[in-house]
Structures are given as C-alpha cells and as structure tokens.
Amino acid sequence: MKKLLILMMASLIACPGILAQLQVAITIDDVPNTKAYNASLTLVRQLDQKKVPTAIFINESKLQFSKNQGFFANVGLLMHWGNPPYNTLGNHTYSHLRYSAVGYQAFTQDLVKGEEFTEKLAKKYHKKLRYFRFPYNDLGKDSSQHHQIVHYLQANNYILTPFTVESSDWMFNYLYEHYQKQGKPKEAQRIGNLYIQKTLEYFTFFEKMAMAQYKRPVRHIYLCHDNPLNADYIGLLLSKLRQRKYSFISLTKAMQDPVYQQTDVYYKKWGVSWMYRWMKDGKARSQLMKTEPDIMSVYQEYQKVLKAKH
C-alpha cells in the first residue's frame, strides 16, 4: 500500500498538469483573411460557438482586397471577429511590414495607419485598442532599434503582445492550401494531422521549459493565424488541449502571470518565443532551441513546393 502511494505521488510530480490547471490564451494574427473569406468566417464562427476568448491582430490593408467579396463585405468579416464580447482587438500594423527591414519611421507610420478602422470598431463594441503585435515578431535588428520601438509603444499606451507557443502554422497552411488546390485531399489531411501532432509537441516542449525555469506551469499564449488550416483543425486542437486539462483564458488574464513582467533581452530580428527572450544566457538559449520538436520534414516539403512554383 505504501509503495502504491509513493508511486502515485511520483506520478503526480511527473505530471504537473494534474496538480495545477493549465491555461492558454489563443491569439490569431493576420485577421481578417479576406483572401480566404469563407475559411476566415468558419474559423471565427467556431471560436465564437465554443466561446473561446480570442485576441485578434488586425492588418487593415486586408480590407482593401477586392477579388473575393469587396470592401464592405471585408469589413463585415472583420466585424464578425471584433463583435464577440470576449474577443480582444489588437493592431498588427496596416500592411504587415518587417520592422528590422523598414526602420522606425516607416514602421511607426504603418502602425498608426493600422489603427484607423480598428479604433472605430473598438468604439462600436465598447472595447479598447491596447494590444500591439509585431509582424513576424520582429522587434528590430539590434538593441537600439529594439529599445526605440519598445519606448514608442509605451509612450503610446500600447501593450507589446508576446507569445510562448507557436508551431509555424503558416508553413503547414501553405502546404495544406497547396494540396487542396491540387485536388489532393488525402495529402491535405496528412498535413492537417501533422500540424496537430507537432503543435501538441510544442506545447509539451514549452510546458517542460516552464517547469524547468519557473518550477510551475505558466499561463501560455498560443500564436497562430487566420487561415484555412485553422478553420478546419482548430476544433481538434482545442479538444486535444482540453483533454490535457487546458482552460482557455483571455490575453489580459494570461498576461497577469508575473512571467510577462520580465524583460525581453533578445536583440535579433527572428520571431522566437518569449520563453527564450527572457533567458539572459544566450548560449543556453541556443542550446535549448536545438532541442525543439523536429519539423524539418515539413520545412523540406514546403521548400520543394515553393521551388516548383517559381
């Protein structure tokens, strides 16, 4: 009996999820995907139906895309995203520029341009536009560019939005759309299932990293995109996370976790997780990055398809 008790205690320590509730905020970038209008509508409807609080990061330039539905229909799509009371609005710049490439002047101009319609939307839904997320999570090519923009955001009452978990869903989506257009649903399905498998592996990876660094689970922020892949697979992903005892919280609640008060000391342009950016030891950071879940085969497949197209 004593032995059994010890075994049970050991398994509880090994699986922290049993002891502490896991929490994650879902955040979606590049909203509204007017090029995949119906998929975008499907995605927002599912999240809305499940009442999953979602923070959305908007590129207003997408409202101008006219091939599918036209401007007013595009605005209608964005209103679907902005309307749910538990959805948070965020600015993702007007035209999705890379900060390290265009520099401070052009970037801040594009950022302000990206507020115009979203501010109106926020007012209509009695919300505030407080969150900003960098396209590509590119915070500048060096520490001076980095500090300059962080200061700008603070001075303009913006909250810089981090993330802890992402799984390159954009790359999986590229292949997913490609196979769908080619009339290869089985290939598309293979990519979809691989996306779920790898995303869960990434969650495990960052859960373990949180336990190693903070000795407790942290409130995670998952980053993904408004795309057809998520339109078809978000339900499965959410149910898998629920099985792991995750609950879905707002971005604001996630950011109340003290881990988000730490300083980002990563001064390169790459869009890495904030779990790495808080690490002061650059060598240890690089070592850890090498132990991430392996998605090389997907990357190679993506490169192959990309090359064949050009």
Binding site for Zn ion (CB under 5 A): 29-30, 135
Provide the minimum distance between the beta carbon of 55 and Zn ion in the complex, in angstroms, as a whole number. 13
Q: Considering beta carbons, is residue 136 or 214 the nearer one to Zn ion?
A: 136
Provide the minimum distance between the beta carbon of 57 and Zn ion in the complex, in angstroms, as a whole number. 7
CA distance 112 to 172: 31
Burial 116-126 (b: 16+ CB within 10 A, else e): ebbeebbeeee
Which residue of this chain has its Cβ atom nearest to Zn ion in the complex?
A: 29
Q: Considering beta carbons, is residue 133 or 259 the nearer one to Zn ion?
A: 133
Q: Considering beta carbons, is residue 29 or 115 the nearer one to Zn ion?
A: 29
Q: Considering beta carbons, is residue 170 or 214 the nearer one to Zn ion?
A: 170
Phi/psi for 33 (5° steps) reads -80, 85
- Look up tokens 């401007």; give the residue: 71
Q: Looking at 55-168, list the stretches that DSSP marks H as alpha helix, in order from N- to C-terminal side.
A: 71-82, 99-113, 116-124, 143-155
Provide the minimum distance between the beta carbon of 228 and Zn ion in the complex, in angstroms, as a whole number. 16
Provide the minimum distance between the beta carbon of 136 and Zn ion in the complex, in angstroms, as a whole number. 7
Q: Name residues whose C-beta falls within 8 Å of residue 132's C-beta, 6 or more positions apart in sequence.
A: 90, 91, 92, 111, 153, 158, 159, 160, 161
Q: Considering beta carbons, is residue 30 or 207 the nearer one to Zn ion?
A: 30
Provide the minimum distance between the beta carbon of 48 and Zn ion in the complex, in angstroms, as a whole number. 21
Report in angstroms the alpha-carbon separations of 152 from 102, 105, 107: 16, 11, 11
Name the residue type at position 221. Answer: I
